[in-house]
């Protein structure tokens, strides 16, 4: 009897895993269709979030997506949103990953599911949740939050993060008003982690340079500026190469500065020609991330100059 019980349990587990693999495959096919829709970049982003998230974001109860599955999902997702392969993975996470990527969305759904389970156990069996053993679902939620630099005091203590002004208890996730704040703080923690990894990376744009700490307000200003412009979105992602780098990476493709006709100009030259000034700030110069409103005309002028290379 024990053998057959174990057999059926293993079979059910394999069926669940197969079902989730099918959902990931279905989402990838959907992304390929979205890629060919004649719609603005911002709308494509919304389509990926709404329709893709609805397919793959739920059902992860006994296990989380494997790193291989998440990587395959991200590849299909970002291919549907244009030529972003040159941008750093961390920058994609900072700009849009907190709303689109599988790992953070699965974590958010697992948190709600865990608390729904806790409430059901207490109501149905009058059991103190503190007396129950930690399940795989609770373990996945705990590890997911800790990976994003959230901390808590005790098994059911308050979760805190440097970017969160209030923190939260797990029972707060079922309060819709509090959940909006918690969801926002989770996304910012995801972006902050990605920014720190990007800041210490070996990417040529930032290697050996100080780009400061993560600033949620600055990121939001960059996203708002680029919202309706595909090229601007590529710029804030770091997905646009300078003509100099492009000539080295794309089989010797040649181009000239439309203003002074210099062959294969470098990034600083483009700022000098298009805007008349080369910003010292790395995020402004390389990614068109405005620091304040006064930088917006500079970003717009640079984007218009770059448009002539398209």
Write out the DSSP string of 27-42.
Answer: HHHHHHHHHTS---HH
- pTM for this one? 0.86
pLDDT at residue 12, rounded to an integer: 47
217 is written with which tokens? 């307000």
Whether the pLDDT of residue 129 is over 70: the answer is no
pLDDT at residue 72, rounded to an integer: 81
Counting residues of the chain whose pLDDT is more than 70, the rounded percentage is 90
Report yes or no: 170 and 115 within 8 Å, Cβ to Cβ.
yes
Domain boundaries, the chain: 106-199, 227-307
Report yes or no: 288 and 236 within 8 Å, Cβ to Cβ.
yes
Cα(168)–Cα(194) distance, integer angstroms: 22
pLDDT at residue 188, rounded to an integer: 97
Placement of tokens 């398209």 in the chain: 310
pLDDT at residue 250, rounded to an integer: 62
pLDDT at residue 14, rounded to an integer: 46
Which letter, b or e, does each residue of 122-140 get, where b requires 16 or more Cβ atoms within 10 Å of its Cβ?
eeeeeeebeeeeeeebbeb
Counting residues of the chain whose pLDDT is more than 90, the rounded percentage is 45
pLDDT at residue 55, rounded to an integer: 74
Cα(284)–Cα(279) distance, integer angstroms: 7
What is the band of 123 on the pLDDT scale with cuts at 50, 70, 90?
Answer: confident
pLDDT at residue 10, rounded to an integer: 41
Cα(296)–Cα(48) distance, integer angstroms: 28
Going through 53-166 in order, the beta strands assigned E by DSSP cover 151-152, 159-160
Indicate the range of 198-202, 239-243, 268-272 predicted with least confidence.
239-243
- Condensed to tens digits (0 to 9), the pLDDT of residues 261-295 reads 898 899 999 999 999 999 999 999 999 999 999 99
Coil, helix or strand for 225?
helix
Q: Which residue has the higher pLDDT, 47 or 60?
A: 47
Most confident of 61-65, 114-118, 178-182: 178-182
Cα(308)–Cα(95) distance, integer angstroms: 25
- Condensed to tens digits (0 to 9), the pLDDT of residues 48-100 reads 887 777 777 677 777 777 788 788 878 888 887 777 888 999 999 999 888 88
pLDDT at residue 7, rounded to an integer: 41
| CA distances (Å), origin 108, targets 6, 64, 143, 160, 210 | 31, 12, 13, 16, 32
What is the band of 130 on the pLDDT scale with cuts at 50, 70, 90?
Answer: low
Cα(202)–Cα(212) distance, integer angstroms: 16
Report yes or no: 16 and 8 within 8 Å, Cβ to Cβ.
no
């Amino acid at each position: 009897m024990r053998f057959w019980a174990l057999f059926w349990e293993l079979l059910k587990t394999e069926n669940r895993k197969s079902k989730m693999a099918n959902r990931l495959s279905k989402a990838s096919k959907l992304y390929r269709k979205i890629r060919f829709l004649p719609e603005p970049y911002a709308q494509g982003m919304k389509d990926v979030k709404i329709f893709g998230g609805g397919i793959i974001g739920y059902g992860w109860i006994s296990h989380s997506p494997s790193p291989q599955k998440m990587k395959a999902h991200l590849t299909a997702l970002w291919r549907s949103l244009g030529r972003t392969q040159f941008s750093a993975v961390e920058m994609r996470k900072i700009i849009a990953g907190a709303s689109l990527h599988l790992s953070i969305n699965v974590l958010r759904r697992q948190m709600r599911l865990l608390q729904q389970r806790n409430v059901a156990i207490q109501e149905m069996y009058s059991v103190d949740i503190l007396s129950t053993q930690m399940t795989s679902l609770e373990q996945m939620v705990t590890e997911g939050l800790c990976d994003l630099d959230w901390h808590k005091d005790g098994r059911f203590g308050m979760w805190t993060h440097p970017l969160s002004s209030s923190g939260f208890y797990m029972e707060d996730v079922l309060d819709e008003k509090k959940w909006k704040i918690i969801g926002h703080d989770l996304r910012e923690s995801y972006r902050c982690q990605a920014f720190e990894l990007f800041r210490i990376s070996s990417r040529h744009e930032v290697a050996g340079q100080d780009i400061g700490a993560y600033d949620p307000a600055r990121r939001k200003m960059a996203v708002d500026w680029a919202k309706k412009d595909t090229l601007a979105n590529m710029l804030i992602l770091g997905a646009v190469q300078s003509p100099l780098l492009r000539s080295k990476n794309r089989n010797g493709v040649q181009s000239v500065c439309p203003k002074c006709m210099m062959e294969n100009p470098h990034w600083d030259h483009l700022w000098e020609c298009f805007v008349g000034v080369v910003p010292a700030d790395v995020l402004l110069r390389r990614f068109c991330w405005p620091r304040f409103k006064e930088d917006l005309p500079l970003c717009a002028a640079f984007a218009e100059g770059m448009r002539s290379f398209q």
